[in-house]
Amino acid sequence: MNILPDSVSVAMATYNGERFIREQLESLAAQQHLPSELVITDDASTDGTVAITEQFAKSAPFTVNIHRGEKRLGFRANFMRAANLCASDLIAFCDQDDIWSPRKLARCIEPFRDPAILLAYHNAQVVTEAGEPLGRLDHFASAPVTPPLSCFPLKYTQYALGFTEIFRRSILEFSDLWGMSSDYADLTAPMGHDHWVFFIASVFGSIAYIDEPLASYRQHGTNFVGWAGGPRRYDIFDLLSDPSQELGALRQVAERCTAILEKAKDALADPRLQGATRGAARYRLLLEHYTARNQLYTSASFVDRVKAFRRIVSAGGYRPRREWGLGRKALARDLCVGLPAGHRLRL
């Protein structure tokens, strides 16, 4: 029988969060399964955030380690710092402005009875600043268990938000490669902390999804990543718009993912070496698809556009997305717009 890990660290990155952090801290203290530690890395706050956390630490039912930064790192590096300071077998990311259900940690550690599970994430209730319900994060739903290399998380928050994630500490063994990554939302920056651990987990292990709202995701107007009512519908304006900028971003992220996995192979042994090899090959194929597709929308030559389209088709590039393809929407757009119009979209 597989043993359930019981050591959980909570990694909280803070910055000027005095408005809501007390309620979040209280929800951590109310967990049915208490964390073994709370690691707080403050990103040079100028309000009362640190004072509030220090006061909480005096009576918290678990160890609280507070690390105050003197220089701003930004949320990505600050969360990565918090995670790497954690000591437990499992690590849960924690934002400063949400509210956790008392069952969150107890429920989230259950999937880790399976040693193949590297990351678990859950649904959440979206609420207003005052706690009134707005909706749920149903559009992030997945199968209960997703096998390795069953998805390719290239876009930021494409599959899970950080406060819903709990993951094995072994993922942090790849932290020295994080700086090589690229964030789809900001190509000058590495991946967000949550994007990064999801990417690594999706290559080297299985991912569990818990379809229960185990936290309240508070919207208050200053969220770095807010809620817009779920995924935007694909419509005629998407069909007629120029996708070359998006394709350029996807190409860069796919290229970086390929390079990261190739680099990781140098220090790995089987079976993780096999995972990195397969992952690098799949991201490289995606890069080829995006490169050919970009030619559809940038080339002035109809002949060159036809050649690019044929390259995608011959490589099976329009397979469903769950099979590492571009999908039917991409096929429809490329046939109706890319081939006949191509570069004219840019004029």
- Chain region(s) in the chain for CATH 3.90.550.10: 8-218
pLDDT of 233? 52
**More confident position, 169 or 224:** 169
Token pair 């990351």: residue: 119
> Which residue type does 340 have?
P
Band the pLDDT of 84: cuts 50, 70, 90: very high
> Are residues 169 and 141 in contact, defined by beta-carbon separation less than 8 angstroms?
no
pTM here is 0.92
Q: What is the pLDDT of residue 166?
A: 98
- In the predicted model, what is the mean pLDDT of residues 201-221? 94
Tokens 């069952």 locate to: 103
- For the segment(s) 8-218, the CATH number from 3.90.550.10, 3.20.20.80, 3.50.50.60, 3.40.640.10 is 3.90.550.10
Give the pLDDT band (50/70/90) at residue 5: confident
Alpha carbon 319 to its chain's center: 23
Say what the pLDDT of residue 227 is: 46
Residue 236 Cα distances to 244, 257, 318, 335, angstroms: 17, 31, 20, 14
pLDDT reading at 334 higher than 80: yes
Determine how β-strand 206-218 pairs with β-strand 117-127: parallel
pLDDT at 264: 97
Task: Please tell me which residue, 56 or 338, carries the higher pLDDT value.
Answer: 56
Residue 343: pLDDT over 70: no
- In this prediction, residue 225 carries a pLDDT of 52
Query: If you average pLDDT over residues 140-160, what whole number do you get?
Result: 90
pLDDT of 60 higher than 70:
yes
Q: Which of the residue ranges 69-83, 232-246, 285-299 would you say has the lowest mean pLDDT? A: 232-246
